[in-house]
Amino acid sequence: MTAWMLAWASRVWAQGPVIVHQVPPRYPATLGAEAWGEVTCEVTLAVSPPGSVTDVRVQGCPDDFVLAVKAATSQWRFEPRAAAAGTVAVRLQLTFPDPGPRLPPYRDFLLGVGATLAPRAALLRGRWVSGVAERPISGALGGDVDVRTTRPVGARETLLVGASFGGERVRGVALSGLGLLHGARLFGVGSELHLPVEAAVQAEVGSLRLHARARLWWSLRDRVVDRAPAAVPSTAGFELGVAVTPLLSSGFEPAFGPRLEIVLREELGDVVPSMAVGLGL
């Protein structure tokens, strides 16, 4: 159970059936819910003779917490009783302690389609980078793939490792790894290894999650055979990218949503702009 899940407590107000199975409610992940801090809900459960919860009534707390309480307590089970006992009411008080500062891992995801603008070419783009732990500083893993599906055809795959850092609303990563660039024959002759070094940051501003990244790369080969023009870089280059995603939930449990990304990449001495849209974080 992660730190931002509910650490919860309950107190029985009246003697009633014995509970045999509990599902702990989770602190709501909706945007802004964390601003409530510690929240206490007064709960009344209707428990049938077989021990299932047939009705849940919640008072004294915001709507987001009402939904969280109902989702969990409807799964509770009590010891079965004689049918003659009928349905009984069990009154509880559930407290959601203040979850405190959130330290979510860095998460950066895109799966989309787009195009380069000069020269014009359709492309597929995928990216996934994530911190591995909910700590201020942790390891990070990821990678990305770009494939040009029209002339000039080309592709790039990159695997990255490094460290993530930051807090609740601003996070960053520093990464390095290995990449493979392909020319007109894609996965045949005309490919080369390259060494990327990247720094990226994301910030939550209002209802938006903003991303910015910069990458430098160096070829690990002095010469590429059968290179297609404007498809595989020669010795070194750079890449700058910015992206925006609507913030559909709180930062410590983001939800996938639409994402727009713009990238400037140096290729064979030219700066090639591209744009992609798709599903992202």
Residues 1-28 pLDDT 10s:
333 333 333 333 345 678 888 888 888 8
pTM of the model: 0.60
Out of 21-35, 58-72, 238-252, the most confident range is: 58-72
User: Does residue 153 lie in a domain region?
Assistant: yes
- Residues 153, 69 within the same domain: no
Condensed to tens digits (0 to 9), the pLDDT of residues 118-169 reads 778 888 999 999 888 777 788 999 999 988 776 666 788 899 999 998 877 7
Condensed to tens digits (0 to 9), the pLDDT of residues 75-113 reads 999 988 887 778 888 888 888 887 766 666 788 899 999
Residue 2 lies in a domain: no
Domain limit, last residue, from 68, 96, 124: 96
162 and 238: one domain? yes
The domain boundary residue, chosen from 96, 125, 150:
96
Whether 122 maps to a domain, the answer reads yes
Above 70 in pLDDT, residue 223? no
> Domain ends where: 96, 121, 153?
96
Are 171 and 88 within one domain? no
pLDDT band (50, 70, 90) for residue 180 = confident
**Domain shared by 276 and 200, yes or no:** yes
What pLDDT score does 173 carry? 93
Query: Are 234 and 258 found together in one domain?
Result: yes
Considering the domain architecture, whether residues 54 and 138 belong to the same structural domain is answered as no
Work out the mean pLDDT of the chain and round it to a whole number.
Answer: 79
**Residues 126 and 150 reside in one and the same domain:** yes
189 pLDDT higher than 80 = no
Reference 95, options 38, 139, 51; nearest CA is: 38
**Does residue 119 form part of some domain?**
yes
Does the residue 1 lie in any domain?
no
- Write out the residue range of the structural domain in which residue 130 sits: 107-280
Please compute the mean of the pLDDT values over residues 223-238 and round it to a whole number.
53
- At residue 228, the pLDDT reads 43
Assigned domain for 166 exists: yes
* Residue 80 resides in a domain: yes
Radius of gyration over every alpha carbon of the chain, rounded to an integer in angstroms = 26
Query: Do 265 and 165 fall within a single domain?
Result: yes
Residues 138 and 206 in one domain: yes
Domain count, the chain: 2
Give the CATH number of the domain where residue 48 resides. Answer: 3.30.2420.10
Q: Are residues 90 and 179 in the same domain?
A: no
Residue 4 lies in a domain: no
The CATH number of the domain where 140 resides is what?
2.40.160
Give the max Cα distance, the chain. Answer: 87
Whether residues 59 and 129 share a domain: the answer is no
Does residue 52 share a domain with residue 183? no
